[in-house]
Amino acid sequence: MATVKIVLRARTNKDGTQPLAIRITQDRKASFIHLDKNIFAKDWDAIAGKVKKSHPNATQLNHFLAKKYWEAQEKSLEVETNKDEVTSVAVKQKIKPKGGKTFFSQADLYLKSLETAGKYNRFVADAPRVKHFREFLDGRDISFSDITVPLLKRFRAYLQGERKVKERTIINHLVVIRTVFNQAIQDGITDPKYYPFGKDKVSIKFPESIKIGLSAEDVRAIEALDYSDNGRLDHARNVWLLAFYFAGMRAADVLLLKKSDFKNNRLFYAMEKNDKGGSLKIPDKAQAIISKYTVRTANSEHNLLFPDLEAVPDLNDLYTVQRKTSYAVKNIDKALRSVAADAGIKHKLTMHIARHTFGNLSGDKIPIQMLQKLYRHSNVSTTIGYQSNFIHKDADEALDAVINTTN
């Protein structure tokens, strides 16, 4: 069993005082929690573990220390009851969690973990959502036990009424709160009984989105454009087409393609989002674009096919890579608006539309298992759900079967 004791640390402050701390010892290993109280060594009774009467605030300090001691004892017992293996660090974390016990202190830890893991896109999306929750609470912090179902319903109404955001955005805000809540439960900072999500509580269900891709005629119009005198639009068109030719490859993966990824008339790459690897045949149309960029004179040390991320010093710096990729895709999407206008396309044209376009043109022509492989989906159910946006034959025939009976 871990032992808990109030001690006076040996370190001396500039004014000659020394800090008081809780010492947790388990298997001869100690952890310390400082109590932000400092006294002179002459006023400390090390054997009794209390402040001597010689200190002017001895009574108040001893009451404070006794309270902290019994709180630590209670938390230590709780850890030992719930865990097979107990360390002094685990007991310390239970008594004084890293970052603090309130929601926003834990939200800060969550956002910091996204930065550390290089998840720039998640960070820039979730940081404003945490900020909006704080603004809803008028800037005050909140304990996890106070995040109740009624409170979250009021937050939903605030987002919908005052911020005028759509349902999917509201759900994304709730997902962040749920994520921080789960983190706090896993770290033993709050009790699962306070969890406000789930059945008969706050449910999280994303609304179905409508995915629309371009037609074959639209793609041919893009291919036929002559941008020999406009390098910016030519580059945007080429990146979009290559993404489409490789089964709707994600923009981040396209911009990170290396020349060495193309071997024996095949492309070998792993999708950045889920690290699923594989290879694809290089279509003739794709080879024409690849050849054009392979011979360009401005080569980077990274051996990238496209120049958009050449300035990134270290491709292993995931946060910087995602940040620069985000900027690059925004610039390409801006150029694609001009491409769409030149091609006479009324539909919105972005890098992500390349994926929708492949889905739209494949329809029900390709077996779902093959589409799963092409899309690099981890689960076939994801493929089925995605492709259902582009399979209309059965519904169209059913509609005609009814409508045509009136002819």
- pLDDT band, residue 326 (cuts 50/70/90): very high
Tell me which of 12-16, 27-31, 100-104, 314-318 is least confident.
27-31
> How far apart (Å, rounded) are the C-alpha atoms in residues 356 and 347?
12
pLDDT of residue 237: 97
- Beta-carbon contacts of 281 under 8 Å, excluding residues fewer than 6 positions away, are 265, 266, 267
Q: Where are the beta strands (DSSP E) in 12-85?
A: 18-26, 29-39, 44-45, 50-51
First to last CA, the chain: 85
The reported pTM is 0.67
- pLDDT band, residue 268 (cuts 50/70/90): confident
> What are the tens digits of pLDDT across the range 11-66?
899 999 999 998 888 777 888 888 889 999 999 999 888 999 999 999 999 999 99
The residue to which tokens 């958009």 are assigned = 308
In 3D space, the residue among 163, 60, 317, 323 whose CA is nearest the CA of residue 68 turns out to be: 60
Half-sphere exposure of 224 (CA within 13 A, CB side): 10
- The domains of the chain are located at 3-95, 103-194, 219-356
- Mean per-residue pLDDT for 90-98? 57
pLDDT of residue 128: 97
Tell me which of 56-65, 67-76, 360-369 is least confident.
360-369
The residue to which tokens 């955001």 are assigned = 165
Q: List the Cα angle 293/217/278 in 5-degree steps.
A: 45
- Tell which wins on pLDDT, 368 or 289: 289
Q: What is the CATH number of domain 103-194?
A: 1.10.150
Taking the CB of residue 133, how many other CB atoms lie within 10 A of it?
23
- pLDDT band, residue 371 (cuts 50/70/90): low
CATH superfamily assigned to domain 219-356: Intergrase catalytic core (1.10.443.10)
Q: Where are the alpha helices (DSSP H) in 117-247?
A: 120-136, 149-161, 167-186, 216-224, 231-245
**Residue 231 pLDDT > 70:** yes
Token digits for 69?
A: 């001691």
The residue to which tokens 């790459």 are assigned = 269
> What are the tens digits of pLDDT across the range 110-154?
999 999 999 999 999 999 999 999 999 999 999 999 999 999 999
The residue to which tokens 């490789």 are assigned = 246
* Gyration radius from the chain CA atoms: 30
Share the mean pLDDT of the chain: 85
